[in-house]
Structure 1
Amino acid sequence: MSASPHTLKPGDASRGADRWFREQGLPTFVPLRRWFTDLPRRVAPLIAWVAVAAYLFQDGIELVIEFAIDDEYPEVAAFMLFLALVIFVLAAGLAWAAYFLVRALLRRLPVGIGTAVALLVIAGCLAFTIAWGYSAQPDASVGPVLRTLLVLGLCILVTGMGGGALISWASRLAVRNASAIGHMASIALPVILMLVVFSFFSVEVWQMASAMSWGSIALLTLVVAVLAGIVVLRVAASEIEDDAQAPSDEQRTALLVGTPAEGRRVAPGAPRRLRAPQRINILLALTVAQLVQALFFAGLLAALLIIIGAITVPAGLVGLWLGPGSATQPMTVQPLEFFGATLPLTVNLLKVATILAVIAALPFVFSAVSETRYRERFFDPIMVDMRRAILVRNAIDTTPSR
């Protein structure tokens, strides 16, 4: 039988609460004095990831790509690039496997033994990285040692500030948003697509998109992201400050189930106000979550528009829509080529689909934070996570009173 929260030792309870806050993407909820506690066990998985990734990505993939683009072997170029992609995926998978394996092992060990094992893992990885650096550069003096020490310092700083936990939280967020594509396709996509399709078959849109460079499209994407972020920040700030959204005792008990504060009661009275770093952390987490959802929606919409365009808009029709252009702004149909092979798509189609998908992501974000049926799927679950984190903070009283 597992121990209840009340029977845990104070050190174990605070360590579990700190880990829980970091896994929620809220490292600022951990007191500053505990940012660098238990550091060997926390930094060892990241050091293992760096060592494995540095070894696997050192020379192998570069050698395959150089061979693939060699003009003497054009017939095997596509195959070698595909092989390079497979090697890249396998290398990344092995690096992450080392990360999760070391983390799972250290979490299962007691604190003292786990710390000793973590120190051994860190020392072994550093020694391996330095030895590999000298084998790759036999004439080097202290370069590999300095690089290894710099990487160690960066890993300690990033881990202490909760950077690893933020990366893990963002990864889980991306997976959760990927699983919500079905809701996007069934709720948000039909309404917005009905408006976008009319613009997709507009001559002016094709002319504008063909005249724009990819740098201009990237700048447009940045502007849309800033506008969407401002909207999410305003809505999230009002939600956090809305006292009418305070949960009842039954709702509070249900929210605390499965958290470090399960079984505890929040002290009566007004809850402690969030400090500025904590408030900023919550707002940024909400904004990032909504922007990731918008990114998945834009990708889904762009893919659908590319499929529609590949079926209904041949290259000849694109040329008729664009016309000859002018001397200052020529209009040309750009076929899409992939390592010498011409695909049945055009760069013009990719630009049109990207621009329309980016612009359509803005009303998607507006609907996600304002309309009821959108909020229930895309905004409220994230807001519930943030309110749960605030309740846990109030229940365990992370910052001790004077």
Structure 2
Amino acid sequence: MFAVPDMQQVHDWFLHRGLPLVLTRRVRSRHLVERSAPMVSGVGALTAVTMLLAEVTGDSPDYGYALRLGVIAAVLIAAPFVLYLLHQLDSTRGEAGRRTAALTVMAVFVVVMPVTVSGWSAAAAAEAPAFVVITLLAIWLTYVGFGSIVAWAFRFAWVQLGALGTLMSRALPLLMLTVVVYFTGELWQLAARMTRQRLWQVIGFFALVALAFVVTTIRDEVRALREDRAEETDQAGLLAGTPLAVPAGTRITRTALSRAEQVNVVAVMVVSQAIQVVFFTAGLFAFFLALGVVAVPDDVAVLWSAEETCAVGQPPCAGTWFGIHVPIPQTMVHMSLFVAVLSGLYFTVSTSVDPLYRERFFDPLIADVAVSLAGRDAYLELEGRPAR
């Protein structure tokens, strides 16, 4: 047994490393409404800004409606900063103010947004339950620590961004192959006749395939880390400089991970790798959009896709992106997105056997998780409780 003077520092350390489910339910339940408000405000602000852009880029925008959306977006964007300032006040008044502000943010999202969109009507009343469900989902995600998992994954992916550049340079053969695929008339015809809803369904199918592959691979790596390489790690060395540091030579009892902890550890690794794949796919999407604009004239796009133009003798209809009009043909948007996601799936599978990817990204990820798991074992021993 060993003593840790500041348990709050330990809790913050686990949250910072994306392992919230190691903490007890009591710890994760503290100030749950206040901690959920920034996520609710973020979802609301993103929704309001998207609707605002869709409105002002439309054919006949309603500027009064756009102004109301802009005010709501500004309020929701400012809300997290106000909550942060109130959090700095340690007094009882500051805590009460933070709770009041959090409830106000949720009320704006649940009540004001539906009324702004649909007015005082039955439609607004019908939409309100959906906003309530989103709010409850945000509270539950905060309770399980979704925010800390994603924040840690983004920090790790950002640090390893240089590795992505190296891997993209090694992916040039794949890029050349997909460029050839991009200039295939049959795929342009498919993209022209595929609705955006069906396209997202196809992308979701590809994402599920990639996710299943990544989860299986990472689960095996975590099992090897806890079992095959367990005796090779120096726990005291791993925990040096952390709030759970122990004297050199100290042996900490290793216990099996609970199901929730297994999900947590796999989740942080999956999300960090998924962010890399998303960055890669987004880069390819931008590349193919630019390639299409430069290399595919409007008349060729119409010929390949056999689509109708908005008017005789006019270029193809402009595309949309989440309701926002963009000066790129809709077929080109669909084609670029489809080929980029297909390439992202190939990238996900191929990097699992790439030694450079393992050296530059996966091995540092495993080493970082090893520190977190050593801290988890020390925390359980400190608490004197078995794994949940």
Q: Same fold (TM over 0.5)?
A: yes
What letter corresponds to residue 147 of structure 2 in structure 1? I
With over 3 angstroms needed to count, the CA separation of the structure-2 counterparts of 1:69 and 1:210, relative to structure 1, is: closer
What letter corresponds to residue 222 of structure 1 in structure 2? G
Matching of residue 170 in structure 1 with residue 150 in structure 2: yes
Q: How far has the Cα of 1:274 moved from its partner? A: 0.6
Instruction: Decide whether the 8 Å contact of 1:44 with 1:102 is kept in 2.
Output: no
Q: How far has the Cα of 1:25 moved from its partner? A: 2.6
Equivalent residue for 2:279, pick from 279, 288, 296: 296
Identity across the alignment (%):
21
- Which one has the largest radius of gyration? 1
With over 3 angstroms needed to count, the CA separation of the structure-2 counterparts of 1:119 and 1:67, relative to structure 1, is: same
Counterpart of 2:189? 207
Q: How far has the Cα of 1:273 moved from its partner? A: 0.7
Q: How far has the Cα of 1:46 moved from its partner? A: 4.1
What SS is found at the alignment partner of 2:254?
coil
Range with greater deviation from structure 2 (264-273 or 277-286): 264-273
Counterpart of 1:262? 245
Instruction: Decide whether the 8 Å contact of 2:83 with 2:101 is kept in 1.
Output: no
Task: List gaps (5 residues or longer) in structure 2.
Answer: 309-313
Q: How far has the Cα of 1:206 moved from its partner? A: 1.6
What SS is found at the alignment partner of 2:318?
strand
Q: How far has the Cα of 1:160 moved from its partner? A: 7.2
Distance across 1 between alignment mates of 2:14 and 2:230: 20
Counterpart of 2:81? 97
Equivalent residue for 1:246, pick from 206, 216, 230: 230
What SS is found at the alignment partner of 2:256?
coil
With over 3 angstroms needed to count, the CA separation of the structure-2 counterparts of 1:258 and 1:194, relative to structure 1, is: farther
Range with greater deviation from structure 2 (176-185 or 64-73): 64-73
Task: Summarize the alignment of residues 381-396 of structure 1 with structure 2, pairs less than 5 Å apart.
Answer: 381-396=364-379
Counterpart of 1:235? 217
Task: List gaps (5 residues or longer) in structure 1.
Answer: 1-5, 326-331
Equivalent residue for 2:329, pick from 320, 330, 346: 346
Equivalent residue for 2:99, pick from 99, 122, 133: 122
Equivalent residue for 2:15, pick from 12, 22, 28: 22
CA deviations on 1:237-257 (whole Å, 9 max, x unpaired) are: 21112134337455x444324
With over 3 angstroms needed to count, the CA separation of the structure-2 counterparts of 1:237 and 1:156, relative to structure 1, is: closer
Query: Aligned residues, how many?
Result: 358
Distance across 2 between alignment mates of 1:228 and 1:58: 28
Task: Summarize the alignment of residues 249-398 of structure 1 with structure 2, pairs less than 5 Å apart.
Answer: 252-264=235-247, 268=251, 271-323=254-306, 334-336=316-318, 343=327, 345-397=328-380
Query: TM-score, normalised on structure 2?
Result: 0.72
Query: TM-score, normalised on structure 1?
Result: 0.70
With over 3 angstroms needed to count, the CA separation of the structure-2 counterparts of 1:392 and 1:334, relative to structure 1, is: same
Counterpart of 1:3? none
Distance across 1 between alignment mates of 2:340 and 2:49: 37
Matching of residue 193 in structure 1 with residue 170 in structure 2: no
Distance across 1 between alignment mates of 2:97 and 2:43: 19
Question: Superposition RMSD on alpha carbons, in Å?
Answer: 4.7
What SS is found at the alignment partner of 1:161?
helix
Distance across 2 between alignment mates of 1:58 and 1:204: 35
Counterpart of 1:44? 34
CA deviations on 1:352-381 (whole Å, 9 max, x unpaired) are: 110111111112212333312112334333
With over 3 angstroms needed to count, the CA separation of the structure-2 counterparts of 1:289 and 1:99, relative to structure 1, is: farther
With over 3 angstroms needed to count, the CA separation of the structure-2 counterparts of 1:270 and 1:367, relative to structure 1, is: farther
Distance across 2 between alignment mates of 1:380 and 1:201: 38
CA deviations on 1:20-79 (whole Å, 9 max, x unpaired) are: 22333322211335433xx24x6435457868998x999999899878868488xx89xx
What letter corresponds to residue 186 of structure 1 in structure 2? T
Range with greater deviation from structure 2 (262-271 or 207-216): 262-271
With over 3 angstroms needed to count, the CA separation of the structure-2 counterparts of 1:208 and 1:215, relative to structure 1, is: same
Q: How far has the Cα of 1:17 moved from its partner? A: 2.2
Distance across 1 between alignment mates of 2:253 and 2:15: 25
Q: How far has the Cα of 1:293 moved from its partner? A: 2.0
CA deviations on 1:89-113 (whole Å, 9 max, x unpaired) are: 754542232243344x15xx5xxx5
Q: How far has the Cα of 1:316 moved from its partner? A: 1.2
Distance across 1 between alignment mates of 2:319 and 2:350: 38
Q: How far has the Cα of 1:321 moved from its partner? A: 2.4
Instruction: Decide whether the 8 Å contact of 1:301 with 1:357 is kept in 2.
Output: yes
Counterpart of 1:224? 206
With over 3 angstroms needed to count, the CA separation of the structure-2 counterparts of 1:162 and 1:264, relative to structure 1, is: farther
Distance across 1 between alignment mates of 2:137 and 2:212: 32
Distance across 2 between alignment mates of 1:27 and 1:167: 9
Instruction: Decide whether the 8 Å contact of 1:181 with 1:297 is kept in 2.
Output: no
What letter corresponds to residue 356 of structure 2 in structure 1? R
Instruction: Decide whether the 8 Å contact of 1:368 with 1:379 is kept in 2.
Output: no
Distance across 2 between alignment mates of 1:291 and 1:309: 26
